[in-house]
Amino acid sequence: MPEKTMRDAINEALHQEMAVDDTVFVIGEDVAGGNGSDGTVGCAGGVFGVTAGLYEKFGPLRCIDTPISESAIVGAAAGAALVGMRPVAEIMFSDFIGVCMDQIVNQMAKFRYMFGGKTRCPAVIRFACGAGFSAAAQHSQTMYQMMTAVPGLKVVIPSNAYDAKGLLLSAIRDDDPVLFFEPKALYQEACEVPDEPYTIPFGEAAMPREGDDVTVVAFGQMVGRAMAAIDGLEAQGISCDLVDPRTTSPLDSETILESVAATGRLVVVDESPPRCGLTADIAAMVSEKAFRSLQAPVKQVCAPHTPVPFSPDLEAEYVPSIDKIQAAIRETLQ
Amino acid sequence: MGLDKDGLLRAYRQMKTIREFEERTFTEIMNGQIAGFTHLYTGQEANAVGVCEHLSGNDTIISTHRGHGHCIARGADVKGMMAELWGAASGLCKGKGGSMHIADVDNGILGANGIVAGGPPISVGAALAAKIRGRDNVSVSFSGDGSVNQGTCFEAMNLAVVLKVPAIFVIENNYYSEHTSINYAVGCDDLKARTEGFGFPVFVADGADFFDVYRAAGEAIGHARAGNGPAGIFCEQGRFQGHFVGDPQGYRGEGELDNLRGERDCLQHFRARVGEYGDVSAEELDTIDAEVLSLIDEAVAEARTAPRPTAADLDSDVYINYAQGGA
C-alpha cells in the first residue's frame, strides 16, 4: 500500500469526493491563490498546500478564493449547505475561530434545532490546529476542545493520514455540520493510505496500542506522542491501551469505559490548556461511570493554563512531552 | 408597476396579515400569553411585502430578530407561526425556535435570526449556491440600520461583490439601533453612498409606500437575477412599536409615534393610492381585512389549545445522526 502524508491524504479525499459529487466545493483564503494577480491562479492551494490542484481540476466555481473574511467564509458555507450544497470551507488556522465564532456557534450549529428539525446543514469547516511551529499564541491553539462543547457541531481530530482521509470523506457525506481539525504538525507525517475512497464512521475510537496496565486516551498530535511514550515503557514491563477517539463529538465513551474497566487506570493527554477541556471531560465521565473500576486517581496531561508561547524552548515545555506522558503513566501505577 | 389586480390584492392581504399578526401578538404578550423576547415589525410591512412579491421558487430570504413580517411575506404558515410564538409542539419550529428563529427552509425562509447581521453571510452562501448551479435565483437578506455597522455585514457585502453572486441586501432603516439613533450610530452622513462604496447599486424606497418599495425591489432583483452581481435596497420607515415589546421608548421625540401611525401607515397609503395602479375597490380591501382578522383569531385560538412539547422533545433535532460508542 502506498505511503502518503496527511496533507496528501486530505487532498486526495477532496479530489475524489468533488469528482463524484458536484455539490461539493471548497472555499477559503488562498485555496486556489493568485487570483487577480499577474502570476498564476491556483499557485497556492491553501497555505499548507492541502487544496493544491483543485482549482486546476474543478475550476473557479468549485475552488473559490475569498477575501480575508472568516465570518463571510463560514456563513457562505452554512448558507450554501442550507440550500443543498456540501461545502468544505477552509479556515486557515483554528485560532481564527475567534473572528467567525458567531457563524459557527450561533448559526450553523443551531439551525436544525432552532428550526424544529426541518433542515440540514451539511457543511464541513477545516482548520489547521495545534502547536509545533513556533507560530505563537494566535496561530497555535487547538480550539477543538471549545467547539466540542457546542451542541449541534460534530468535531473530528485525525491523528494520522489514514484516518484523515477516511474521516474527511465521512465528514463531507455527513448531513450535520462538521468541524475538521488538522494538527498542522502532522501534515508531513506519512503512513499507508489506500488509493481508493473509504470512510471511517464518527464516534468509533481507534485503539493503536493494546495493553493491560493503563488506559491512555490521547487526541490529535498527542496520539503519536502517547504511542512513543507507551512503546518506551514496554521494556519496563508496562503495557497500555491507547485510545484515539478520532471524533470528540460524538465521543466513543464506550471504548474508553471498557478499557478502563480492564486496566483500572487512566491517563488523558491533550495539548490544549487544562480548564474545561477534553481531558477534564473524560476524567469526569470515567469518575462518574467507572469509579469502582479505578485503582488510582485519573491523570491529566495537558498544556499549562497559558497562551502558546513563541520561543521554541518555551513551546517545547508547553506541549506535553513523551517524558511527561510516561511520568503520568508511571504515577498511576504507584 | 407590473402587478395585476390579483397581485395588488395579494400584496395588500400580506401587509394586512403582518399588521394584524403583530398587533395581536402585542396584545397577547401584554396578556401574558407569549413568553420570551419579541420584536415587532408593525409599520414596516411594505418593506417585506414589496420585496417578497418579486420572489418565487428557490429564491431565499434570511431575516432578523424582527422577523415575523419577512416570514409571512415569503409565505410562512401564519398558524404555524402563531403556535411557535406560543411555544407549542405544533409550532413551525416545534416550539424550539420561537419568535427570533422562525424558519421554513424548504419554502425559501432561511430563518429569522437573533444575531444582528448574522444573516448576510449566510445569504451570500445561498446566492453562491445559485451561481454554482447556474440557476437564476436570488438570495435576499433583510438587515436593519443597526446591522449595517456589524463587520459581518461588511464582509458579506464585499464577498458578494468579489464572487459576483445574486445577493440582495435589504437595509431597512427604522432610525434606531435598539435605543440609539442612526444619527449617532452611523458615522457617515450618507449611508447609501457608504453601501454603494462596496461596489453594487442601491435602490432607495419610501418604506411607507408599497408601490415605491415594489419598484425599487424590482430594479435591484432584476439586476441580480440577470447575473450582474449583488444589489441593495434601502427602505426608510419607522417602526410603530419599540425595539422589543415592553420597550418604554424614551428615545422617541414628542409626537413621533402619533405621526408615524397617522401620516406614515403603509396600509392607509395603499388604500389611498391603489386606484392609480389598478381597479381595486375599498370594499374588496374591507373583505380582506375581515378575512385576515378571522385568520388571526383562528391562529390564536389554535395556538392556545395546541399540544405542548414534552421532555421527550428536548433532545431531538440537534443532529440528524449522532451515533457514538461504536454503534
Domain boundaries, given as residue ranges, for chain B: 5-313
Cell for B119?
A: 444573516
Within 189-218 of A, beta carbons closer than 8 Å to B belong to 201-205
Preceding omega of A250 cis (within 30 degrees of 0): yes
Instruction: State the best of A26, A64, A69, A251 to mutate against chain B, taking most chain B CBs within 10 Å.
Output: A69
What is the CB-side half-sphere exposure of residue A2 using CA atoms within 13 A? 9
Whether B71 contacts chain A with CB within 8 A: no
Contact of A90 with A54, CB cutoff 8 Å: no
Q: How far is CA A205 from CA A156, A197, A270, A287, in A?
A: 11, 20, 16, 20
CB neighbour class for A108 (10 Å; exposed up to 12, middle 13-18, buried from 19): buried
Say yes or no for a CB contact (<8 Å) between B91 and A154. Answer: no
A168 and A242 fall within a common domain: no
Q: CA Rg, chain B, in Å?
A: 20
A224 and A314 fall within a common domain: yes
Say yes or no for a CB contact (<8 Å) between B325 and A66. Answer: no
> What's the mean pLDDT in A30-57?
96
Number of domains in chain A: 2
Say yes or no for a CB contact (<8 Å) between A80 and B129. Answer: yes
What CATH number does residue A117 fall under? 3.40.50.970
Distance CA B137, CA B114 (A): 25
Bridge-based pairing state of the strands A154-156 and A178-183: parallel
A307 and A246 fall within a common domain: yes
A266 and A182 fall within a common domain: no
Residue B1 has a pLDDT of 73
Residue B327 has a pLDDT of 38
Distance CA A87, CA A25 (A): 5
A249 and A293 fall within a common domain: yes
- Minimum CA–CA partner of B100 in chain A: A114
Chain B residues in contact with A154 (beta carbon < 8 A): 319, 322
Candidates B209, B222, B114; CA nearest to B168 is B222
Whether A84 contacts chain B with CB within 8 A: yes
Chain B nearest CA to A112, separation (Å): 6
Whether A112 contacts chain B with CB within 8 A: yes
CB atoms within 10 A of CB B137: 21
Which of A164, A192, A220 corresponds to the end of one domain? A192
Say yes or no for a CB contact (<8 Å) between A119 and B324. Answer: no
Q: What is the domain extent for residue A218?
A: 206-332
The answer to whether position A199 is within a domain reads no
Q: How many residues does chain A have?
A: 334
Whether A36 contacts chain B with CB within 8 A: no
pLDDT, tens digit (0-9, with 9 covering 90-100), for A213-262: 999 999 999 999 999 999 999 999 999 999 999 999 999 999 999 999 99
- Minimum CA–CA partner of A77 in chain B: B125
What is the DSSP code (8-state) at residue B23? H
Whether B314 contacts chain A with CB within 8 A: no
Q: Which residues contact A114 (CB under 8 A, 6 or more apart)?
A: B93, B96, B97, B101, B103, B111
Chain A residues in contact with B230 (beta carbon < 8 A): none
Distance CA B273, CA B281 (A): 11
List, for chain B, all residue ranges whose pLDDT scores fall below the cut of 70.
Answer: 324-327
Nearest CB among B97, B114, B124 relative to A115 is that of B97
- Minimum CA–CA partner of B124 in chain A: A76
Say yes or no for a CB contact (<8 Å) between B156 and A75. Answer: yes
Nearest CB among B62, B124, B129 relative to A84 is that of B129
Residue B323 has a pLDDT of 83
- Minimum CA–CA partner of A25 in chain B: B132
A220 and A262 fall within a common domain: yes
Q: A with B: how many residue pairs have Cβ under 8 Å apart?
A: 181
A115 and A218 fall within a common domain: no
Please pick, among A4, A126, A139, A209, the residue that the annotation labels catalytic: A139
Say yes or no for a CB contact (<8 Å) between B155 and A69. Answer: yes
A80 and A157 fall within a common domain: yes
Say yes or no for a CB contact (<8 Å) between B325 and A75. Answer: no
Which of A165, A192, A219 corresponds to the end of one domain? A192
A33 and A171 fall within a common domain: yes
Q: Which residues contact A126 (CB under 8 A, 6 or more apart)?
A: A10, A28, A50, A88, A89, A90, A91, A168, A180, A182
Within 252-291 of A, beta carbons closer than 8 Å to B belong to 252-255
A139 is catalytic: yes
A13 and A143 fall within a common domain: yes
Say yes or no for a CB contact (<8 Å) between A176 and B320. Answer: yes
ipTM of the prediction: 0.95
Instruction: State the best of B84, B159, B164, B169 to mutate against chain A, taking most chain A CBs within 10 Å.
Output: B159
Candidates B42, B38, B41, B62; CA nearest to B52 is B62
Place of cell 488509493: A195
SS3 content of chain A, % helix, strand, coil (to 5): 40, 20, 40
Which of A138, A164, A192 corresponds to the end of one domain? A192
Bridge-based pairing state of the strands A247-249 and A154-156: antiparallel
Within 46-65 of A, beta carbons closer than 8 Å to B belong to 61-62, 64
Place of cell 424544529: A116
Contact of A155 with A179, CB cutoff 8 Å: yes
Please spell the DSSP secondary structure of A213-280, one letter per residue.
SEEEEE-THHHHHHHHHHHHHGGGT--EEEEE-SEEETB-HHHHHHHHHHH--EEEE-SS-STTSHHH
Cell for B253?
A: 421625540
The answer to whether position A200 is within a domain reads no
- Minimum CA–CA partner of B92 in chain A: A116
Candidates A77, A76, A83; CA nearest to B107 is A83
Chain A residues in contact with B151 (beta carbon < 8 A): 71
List the end-to-end C-alpha distance of chain B, in Å, as a whole number.
Answer: 60
Place of cell 485555496: A31
Candidates B279, B280, B265; CA nearest to B206 is B265
Whether B199 contacts chain A with CB within 8 A: no
CATH architecture, domain defined by B5-313: 3-Layer(aba) Sandwich (3.40)
pLDDT, tens digit (0-9, with 9 covering 90-100), for A120-130: 999 999 999 99
Residue A234 has a pLDDT of 97
Read off the pTM: 0.97
